[in-house]
Amino acid sequence: MPNPAREPTFLPLTMSAAGGADDDESRTVRDRAELADRAAADCWLSLVAGCTSGRQALVDRLHDLSEATCGYAGMRWWLGHGSVHRRRVADAEDRIDDAVREGDGAEFAEAFIGYDQAVATVVVHVRNRLGKTVT
């Protein structure tokens, strides 16, 4: 896990929730979260510097993480009982995209808090529902 004292960390809850699990799906979520976190840090630096680089990479990595979260949750749950969580993840992802397009650093940071909470909540909920263990 990245050291928050040395570099920005945007998905600490998600990486913690998916970390240490013993199944391929949660490892995929963790891997995608790490990639999205690095893309977020790069995009953040671009926002602070007034640049536009890294924005599409972040959008792509967030989409990949949302897709991995869907796979972890299972399509039936994701579209059924988990639809409220699916909407939270999608809304937060859209909010990040808007903040990036507008170059709004404060909104970017706030949106990431919501996205991190939404994805981590899904991971924990699914783990509890399925009785998946963490090693």
Tens of pLDDT, residue by residue over 6-54, are 667 899 999 999 987 678 888 999 999 999 999 999 999 888 888 888 8
Mean pLDDT of 69-76: 95
pLDDT at 128: 87
The residues near 105 (Cβ < 8 Å, ≥ 6 apart) are 44, 47, 48, 99
What are the structure tokens assigned to 44, written together?
């953040």
Q: Which residues pair with 134 in a beta bridge?
A: 21
**DSSP notation for 57-115:** HHHHHHHHHHHHHHHHH-HHHHHTTTHHHHHHHHHHHHHHHHHHHHT-HHHHHHHHHHH
For residues 51 and 81, the model is more confident at 81
pLDDT at 2 over 60: no
Confidence of residue 133 (pLDDT cuts 50, 70, 90): low
CA distances from 11 to 1, 36, 79 (A): 10, 8, 24
pLDDT (0 to 100) of residue 110? 95
CATH number 1.20.120 is the correct assignment for the domain at 23-128: yes
Q: Mean pLDDT across the stretch 109-133? A: 90
Distance separating alpha carbons of residues 63 and 66, to the nearest angstrom: 5
Least confidently predicted of 22-31, 80-89, 94-103, 126-135: 126-135
pLDDT at 6: 61
Report the C-alpha gap between 90 and 66 in whole angstroms. Answer: 8
88 vs 23, residue with greater confidence: 88
Average pLDDT of the chain is 89
pLDDT value of residue 4: 47
